Amino acid sequence: MIGMLYAIVVAPMVGGLLIKLFGWHAPIILALVIGSVVLLLALLFFRESNHFLDPKAGHWRTLGGQYLDLLKGRQYRAFAVALACTYGAMFAVIAGSSAVFINLLGFSSLEYGINFGLIVSMLIVGSTYTRRNIMRLGPQRIVAIGVTMVAVGGVSAVAIYELFGLSVLGLDVPIALVTLGGGLVLPGSVTGGVMPNAHRAGLAAGLMGFAQMFGATCSGVLLSQLRDGSAAPMIIIQACFAVTAFIAFHLLRQRQVKGLSYT
């Protein structure tokens, strides 16, 4: 997860630089080259590490039953929904911020890439904190802190936009808070979902990955349908997903009562 977050930080900077130097085709060509290299490395060097393969594991009935069994766990659902909605809030900015910063605030592609990279570098700060403290605090507390940051950032962006209009600082600070919280929620949710399912860790992690991409898909579709040339759709969608992540996680999460837990 931390490796993926680093990629989110670095990619806009590299993309902006490539566009400035070589045109808009350059990032697409680079993506093709990277994908081809990864595919080649996987074909040449990847070896199956599981020596006790289940021949029925890939059957749709087996997979469906395993996924349903995972989703029966209230705590797993809490982490999955928090992950989906948090990434949905982040993806509204990932998908919509280029138009806002370049078309409305007058940034060049390189300036946008640097600015966006600096904002989402908060993901690295959050994920580093998570890595160092998750065993001490536990995934549930880490994610609870994260979704609070995400919700505060999302609501703050709407409030600043409504009160003071569109500005670089008015976007950068709340988005940075959302991404800081995302740095806690993304790795924390995956850890919380996988740890109790060590016997099927790949399945649990895979379903978490699906939840993350599902949140991004919903956010992207909403953004495409609601776009009106202003920054409002991006800001409002971010806030809606952020608040939903906070509410859903606290409704679904495992409670603690007098040292005992219940769901």
pLDDT tens digits, one per residue of 46-87: 888 777 777 777 788 888 888 899 999 899 999 999 999 999
Give me the pLDDT at residue 254, please.
67
Give me the pLDDT at residue 210, please.
95
Residue 218 has pLDDT above 50, yes or no: yes
- Cα–Cα distances (Å) from 137 to 131, 184, 192, 197, in that order, read 11, 12, 12, 19
Question: Which pair of tokens denotes residue 5?
Answer: 């977050």
Q: 56 or 238: which carries more pLDDT confidence?
A: 238
Confidence of residue 4 (pLDDT cuts 50, 70, 90): confident
Give me the pLDDT at residue 87, please.
96
Residue 258 has pLDDT above 60, yes or no: no
Residue 12 has pLDDT above 50, yes or no: yes
| Neighbour count for residue 174 (Cβ, 10 Å) | 26
Give me the pLDDT at residue 113, please.
85
Give me the pLDDT at residue 20, please.
86
Residue 145 has pLDDT above 90, yes or no: yes
Give me the pLDDT at residue 260, please.
41
Question: What value does the mean pLDDT take over residues 152-157?
Answer: 97
**Is the CB of residue 254 less than 8 Å from the CB of residue 262?**
yes
Give me the pLDDT at residue 257, please.
43
Q: Between vectors from CA 5 to CA 220 and to CA 194, what angle results, nearest 5°?
A: 90
Question: What value does the mean pLDDT take over residues 131-141?
Answer: 93
Give me the pLDDT at residue 244, please.
97
Nearest to 156 by CA among 167, 170, 144: 170
Quick one: residue 229, left, alpha or beta (phi over 0 = left, psi -120 to 50 = alpha)? Answer: left
Q: 263 or 179: which carries more pLDDT confidence?
A: 179
Q: 39 or 64: which carries more pLDDT confidence?
A: 39
Go through the domains of the chain in sequence order and give each one's CATH number.
Answer: 2-46+74-262 (1.20.1250.20)
